[in-house]
Chain A
Amino acid sequence: MSYFSDIYHAVKSLLTGMSVTGKYFLHSRKGAITQQYPENRDTLKMFERFRGEVVMPHDENNMHRCTGCQKCELACPNGSIEIIWDRQIDPETGKKKKMIDKHIYHLGMCTMCGLCIEACPTDAIKWAQNFENSVYDRTQLTKVLNKPGSRLLPGVED
């Protein structure tokens, strides 16, 4: 006779569900996931996996890790990255070497797919967590990622 046991199991599972939501209800004050955005702009921190825009981190000596290999440029499906490079004399070894002049990133064309960051062999570029990216003029969306006067960090190519 499964009729009454069915009813018993139904009631039991319904009560289980209600206890779960009931716990949520009681903890909603502390555990609310809502961000009251414009007010908490100063304290709001986006989570690590958030894809805001591509940036190139520089250390305190204004050195980056980009070798100008152009793998990111090739990996980008819609041409958001342009690398302008030439061969310059490396001050340390005195040999001619490929160096980046400008790492140009078009945020306006970027779909945040992240293929460039996956393709980069030296981890020169990464995601930033900023998200207030709107500007009044779209030319401002074209960014040069390497800072003026920056150089390649020695030892990255090894």
Chain B
Amino acid sequence: MNITKNIHEWLFSLMPETTASIVEMVLIAVIYLAIFAVAGLYLVLLERRVAAWFQLRLGPNRVGYQGLLQTMADALKLVSKELTVTIKADKFLYNLAPYFVIVTALMALSLFPFSKEFQAFDINIGIFFLTAISSIGVIGILLAGWSSNNKFSLIGAMRSGVQTISYELSVGLSLLTMVVMTGSLQLSQIVEVQKSGWLIVQGHIPAIIAFCIYMVAGTAETNRAPFDLVEAESELGAGFHTEYSGMKFAYFFLAEFINMFIIAAIATTIFFGAYLSPFGITESIPLLGVFWFLAKTLALVFLMMWFRWTFPRLRIDQLLVLEWKYLLPLNLMNLILMALMVLLGLTIKF
């Protein structure tokens, strides 16, 4: 984009190279932070409205037009609340934990190709980096549960550990299945491959199976219902963030929604051609790529909300049976199927 190029040149003419690149990084980070803090808030609102519609209610519609300012008001309330700490909490880790969760969530965002030129960090191990980053988040959750010195928090954190470590495998393997087809981990390369058909079309049967497994495992990764036994309200209070209040709680809450966005965005990039328009109808206007990316991502976010408000919570044994007895063997079979397909040239290309 022209504006970013102009700013880039202006910064580099103004100061030495290293300072300029650091300033540029900080600028980009601040912009991403601002955009996604607000986007996270609106995802919360979307979740609440969608949840209401699924339950034949209306949802928050009083603050601002159709409740558009509701989550802003909620955030304002959370900022103004007192930050309570339990006496026996491990203060240092207790205060550190929310930042682990939110920082990893925001770091993952930098990789997504929102349009051809709107990508902050195009690293050549893109997908590997994404899965690695998203598994660091669980350390924050474990720290939060451990340092709160509360049995509910600890149980919630341990469940989260079990869940994330198990389902990480499925997420990784289902993405690996797609990587077999793209031959690259770099996200911009993956989008380039999809110019001849989105990967879910190119890979047909194994790709659809991989997508289903990815959505199930991705929902589990974000600790959302039906895999929300991490914070199961009826058993554990609020799970790992029982002892958090005010803004620290808001960080966990925001991270959950940004993680949901990330899972949907990864699926968009890998399966649905990221910023590419369907049938190439708007390829001449590159700026519309952002629209297509967000539209696809929000459709997948909606799918995850649909899951949440339809399915009842799994028990811990059902959770592990689902992963280790069903998703993992299916995934391995699917990987072989995909490899065979690529080897025999059975993929569909336009």
C-alpha spacing A103/B254, complex, angstroms: 59
Pair B57/A21 contact, Cβ less than 8 Å: no
Q: Which of A7, A17, A20, A28 contacts B57 (CB 8 A)?
A: A28
User: Which of these binds chain A: B1-9, B144-152, B284-292, B304-312?
Assistant: B304-312
The residue on B at minimum CB distance from A17 is B310
Pair B52/A14 contact, Cβ less than 8 Å: no
C-alpha spacing A31/B306, complex, angstroms: 18
Q: Which of B52, B58, B309, B326 contacts A21 (CB 8 A)?
A: B309
Residues of A within 8 Å of B326, CB to CB, are 7
The residue on B at minimum CB distance from A6 is B326
* CB neighbors of B among A20-75 (8 A): 20-22, 24-25, 27-28, 31-34, 36
Pair A25/B57 contact, Cβ less than 8 Å: no
Residues of B within 8 Å of A17, CB to CB, are 310-311
Q: Does A109 sit within 8 A of B, measured CB to CB?
A: no
* CB neighbors of A among B300-346 (8 A): 306-307, 309-311, 326, 330
Pair B57/A18 contact, Cβ less than 8 Å: no
Q: Does B54 sit within 8 A of A, measured CB to CB?
A: yes
* CB neighbors of A among B179-238 (8 A): none
Pair A21/B306 contact, Cβ less than 8 Å: yes
Pair A24/B311 contact, Cβ less than 8 Å: no
Residues of B within 8 Å of A18, CB to CB, are 306-307, 310
Q: Does B55 sit within 8 A of A, measured CB to CB?
A: yes
C-alpha spacing A36/B54, complex, angstroms: 18
Pair B56/A27 contact, Cβ less than 8 Å: yes
Given contacts A7-B326, A22-B306, contact A32 B57 (CB under 8 A): yes
Pair A21/B56 contact, Cβ less than 8 Å: no
C-alpha spacing A36/B52, complex, angstroms: 14
C-alpha spacing A31/B52, complex, angstroms: 12
Residues of A within 8 Å of B55, CB to CB, are 24
C-alpha spacing A21/B57, complex, angstroms: 12
C-alpha spacing A25/B52, complex, angstroms: 9
Residues of B within 8 Å of A34, CB to CB, are 52, 57-58
The residue on A at minimum CB distance from B308 is A21
The residue on B at minimum CB distance from A30 is B56
Pair B58/A24 contact, Cβ less than 8 Å: no
C-alpha spacing A22/B306, complex, angstroms: 8
Q: Does B128 sit within 8 A of A, measured CB to CB?
A: no
Q: Does B10 sit within 8 A of A, measured CB to CB?
A: no
Residues of A within 8 Å of B311, CB to CB, are 14, 17
Pair A33/B56 contact, Cβ less than 8 Å: yes
The residue on B at minimum CB distance from A7 is B326
Chain B proximity of A115: nearest CB distance (Å): 34
Given contacts A24-B53, A25-B53, contact A32 B306 (CB under 8 A): no
C-alpha spacing A20/B306, complex, angstroms: 11
Pair A32/B310 contact, Cβ less than 8 Å: no
The residue on B at minimum CB distance from A33 is B56
Chain B proximity of A44: nearest CB distance (Å): 15
Enumerate the 5 nearest inter-chain pairs by beta-carbon distance, A residue then B residue, closest first.
A28-B53, A34-B58, A21-B310, A17-B310, A34-B57
Residues of B participating in the A interface, judged by any CB pair closer than 8 Å: 50, 52-58, 306-307, 309-311, 326, 330
Residues of A participating in the B interface, judged by any CB pair closer than 8 Å: 7, 14, 17-18, 20-22, 24-25, 27-28, 31-34, 36
Interface pairs (23), CB distance under 8 Å: A7-B326, A7-B330, A14-B310, A14-B311, A18-B306, A18-B307, A20-B310, A21-B306, A21-B309, A21-B310, A24-B53, A24-B55, A24-B56, A25-B50, A25-B306, A27-B56, A28-B52, A28-B53, A28-B56, A34-B52, A34-B57, A34-B58, A36-B58
